[in-house]
Structure 1
Amino acid sequence: MRKSALLAAVLTPFLLIAAIESQWPAYAAYELGGVDATSGVDSGATPQDVLSAVGEAQGDPLTLLAVGDIANCAEAPGLASAFPVSANLLGLASAFDPATAPAVPTVELMAQWPNAPVLALGDLVYSSGKPVEFSDCFDPLWKDNRARTLPTPGNHEYNTPDAFGYYQYWGERAGPGDLGYYATHHGNWLILSLNSETDASPGSPQALWLKKTLAASPEACVLAFYHRPAYSLMERGGRDNAVALFRQLEQAGASVVLNGHNHFYERTLPLDAEGSPDAENGTVSFTVGTGGETSREMPTLDTTAKAIFGHLGVLRLELGQDGYRWWFEDAESGATMDAGQAPCVLRRTRA
């Protein structure tokens, strides 16, 4: 009996640390309403508030910035790095060093367009989406851009239970009901943040919501953004929801889809619902997982219009009344590495 008591005494602290690091106590508190989901600066602002604050006159072009895969901060060795959540609760120095994060040049580049709303394309923090990663890594990097950011969640955010760290950080900005999808409107554009990390198959709540939203929206041009690309040079698995979303959007006549996840810049040709080129009616997909990560060069496909490897950067979009322009801006040099323009695709369904 004494051995059992001794063993329990030895194991209890380790079990407690494991529970804290796995986020279950914090998640339970969040679900029970014990954590203020709008405790951060401007997190009470809705996505539509962000676009409404831009203030362009009706018919004027809207400038947007888009980038994903952002905050991967270096970690100092030691207790805080091994147990970042526990260390944070104990008031120890943070393991994260935002000043040396690869995303610093990206953030500096975005300051050239201080009034442009930012579409944050998922994997905003590494590696688990924990609240401490948002507070100690992402926020110090991103705080000057937070008020103008429209987020979407990535797979790393869902390494915490139900991505609660993401929803806690963004509050109302993440959309209603912790679902990770919402609609905004500006001029002749419907802008949709969707969730590639939850069910998007036909008949799912997300698919039904998207169908209803498309049918109820009179705008002629549609832009959607979510984390995983449906069709890209690199297929990393887990893209069923992304494919389902792209099919539904393309069949409705969406003009542009923006994604992160792959750590390079890619612009596709206009693609049909199955990912084949369709110059007349297809949807153009941009992958911009270049906020703080880059990957090796790889061969292009016959669906690839442009691919850029080894460069951090930001996609700048200008949404006009019946078309759009784009520029991919290199974060280190400030050079424009890809640019062009295209008309909106004709909306084919509204029911």
Structure 2
Amino acid sequence: MRKQFFLPCTLAFLLAACQSDRQTREQEARAILLPDKGVSLYAAGDIASCKSASPENSGAGKTAALITAGLAQDKDAVVLTLGDNTYPVGLLSEFENCYEPTWGRFKSRTYPSPGNHDYYTPYAAGYYRYFGDAAGPGRRGYYSFTRGSWHIISLNSFLKPAEHSAQLAWLKEELARSTAKCTLAYWHHPLYSSGGHGNDKRMQEAWAMLHAAGADVVLVSHDHDYERFAPQDAEGQLDDARGIRQFVVGTGGAELTPLRFRRSHSEASDNSTFGVLKLVLKEAGYEWEFIPVEKGGFTDRGAALCH
């Protein structure tokens, strides 16, 4: 029987071996804890910029190619948009000429959410006309659906106060009715971010409701970068037991922007490549992987159990 020796990873020549061993243990743990196939989704925001002469060769064209390949391999996979679907101002013509040739390829499998640039056209008229019923009822920009055993909630972070209050009332009822073990919510403006826009408290009350209900994941964009945070509550306190893990995925195709001072509990970040976040939603948890458009580019992956 082969003996096993456990040595501290302190020496340089042992570091690579120890890291490899740790990764192997993590993979084995995921296989035991999350054995089911799950359902896949692809997500990003800040997507189609009409500054590009050729949509196909734009950042949105490159991320669309990644998603198209993933969807071809999995007929049940879907796509989430995290707002600012077109640039500069969300006109219907932008959706038709810049979004449609790129992310429009999988429009029938897309669950969108709006951002501030979508609302630069009054009432986000271009956004709601383009997505139609997929954008939710009543042009309010929030709705929910299920994938596998997951409750997924699309929220609107650019509503006026009265409309936002109505959204919070709806969210409270939605969470109270839910019997799902795992919950994911997504919108545009991040509560936490090390990017140029920084922390934005407009969705803090929604986060508090989600946290109280035991939600697991929030997806956002707005800052044109990628960033993953440790699980937190609505006050920015680390909460490994019941906190929500936030992913900023503003890498859908619009021009990337600088990261600034690293915020508390930021675990990984990058603004060097366009890409999309792939989540595999399992019965008891989820796996994540940031997929860059460039081979050998930045990536980030991991797994976690639901609360």
Aligning the two structures, in what range does the TM-score lie when normalised by the shorter sequence? 0.7 to 0.9
Matched letter for residue 200 of structure 2: R
- Give 1:249's aligned residue: 210
Aligned pair partner of 2:79 in 118, 125, 128: 118
Q: TM-score, normalised on structure 2?
A: 0.82
Matched letter for residue 234 of structure 1: G
Measured in 2, the distance between the counterparts of 1:245 and 1:235 equals 23
Matched letter for residue 205 of structure 2: A
Aligned pair 1:72/2:33, yes or no? no
Matched letter for residue 285 of structure 1: Q
CA 1:248–1:137 in 2, change beyond 3 Å: closer, same or farther? Answer: same
- Give 1:189's aligned residue: 150
Q: TM-score, normalised on structure 1?
A: 0.72
TM alignment of 1:34-53, pairs within 5 A: none
Aligned pair partner of 1:175 in 111, 136, 139: 136
- Give 2:55's aligned residue: 98
Deviation of 1:243 (Å): 2.1
Measured in 2, the distance between the counterparts of 1:185 and 1:105 equals 28
Report if the CA contact (8 A) 1:200-1:245 is conserved.
no
Matched letter for residue 218 of structure 1: T
Aligned pair 1:135/2:112, yes or no? no
Measured in 1, the distance between the counterparts of 2:56 and 2:144 equals 34
Measured in 1, the distance between the counterparts of 2:279 and 2:154 equals 16
Matched letter for residue 344 of structure 1: C
CA 1:111–1:99 in 2, change beyond 3 Å: closer, same or farther? Answer: closer
- Give 1:214's aligned residue: 175
Measured in 1, the distance between the counterparts of 2:55 and 2:147 equals 34
In structure 2, list runs of 5 or more residues that go unmatched. 1-35
Measured in 1, the distance between the counterparts of 2:198 and 2:262 equals 18
Measured in 2, the distance between the counterparts of 1:200 and 1:344 equals 32
Deviation of 1:336 (Å): 6.5
Report if the CA contact (8 A) 1:231-1:243 is conserved.
no
- Give 1:320's aligned residue: 282
Q: How many residues align?
A: 267
Measured in 1, the distance between the counterparts of 2:164 and 2:89 equals 30
Measured in 2, the distance between the counterparts of 1:104 and 1:203 equals 33
Measured in 1, the distance between the counterparts of 2:167 and 2:103 equals 29
Aligned pair 1:302/2:279, yes or no? no
Question: SS at 1:113's partner residue?
Answer: helix
Measured in 2, the distance between the counterparts of 1:140 and 1:71 equals 10
- Give 2:291's aligned residue: 329
Report if the CA contact (8 A) 1:325-1:342 is conserved.
yes
Aligned pair partner of 2:38 in 50, 61, 68: 61
In structure 1, list runs of 5 or more residues that go unmatched. 1-58, 76-95, 346-351
Query: Where has structure 1 moved over 4 Å in runs of 4 or more?
Result: 199-203
Measured in 2, the distance between the counterparts of 1:288 and 1:318 equals 16
CA 1:220–1:140 in 2, change beyond 3 Å: closer, same or farther? Answer: same
Measured in 1, the distance between the counterparts of 2:160 and 2:200 equals 11
Aligned pair partner of 1:228 in 177, 183, 189: 189
CA 1:237–1:314 in 2, change beyond 3 Å: closer, same or farther? Answer: closer
Moved more, 169-178 or 225-234: 225-234
Report if the CA contact (8 A) 2:146-2:152 is conserved.
yes
Task: Give the share of equivalent positions with the same residue, in percent.
Answer: 42
Report if the CA contact (8 A) 1:201-1:207 is conserved.
no
Measured in 2, the distance between the counterparts of 1:231 and 1:176 equals 28
- Give 1:79's aligned residue: none
Deviation of 1:97 (Å): 3.6
Matched letter for residue 68 of structure 1: G
Matched letter for residue 234 of structure 2: A
CA 1:65–1:334 in 2, change beyond 3 Å: closer, same or farther? Answer: farther
Deviation of 1:135 (Å): 0.9
CA 1:251–1:311 in 2, change beyond 3 Å: closer, same or farther? Answer: same
Question: SS at 2:272's partner residue?
Answer: coil
Moved more, 138-147 or 157-166: 138-147
Matched letter for residue 141 of structure 1: T
Measured in 1, the distance between the counterparts of 2:277 and 2:178 equals 26
Aligned pair 1:145/2:140, yes or no? no
Moved more, 198-207 or 309-318: 198-207
Measured in 2, the distance between the counterparts of 1:102 and 1:118 equals 17
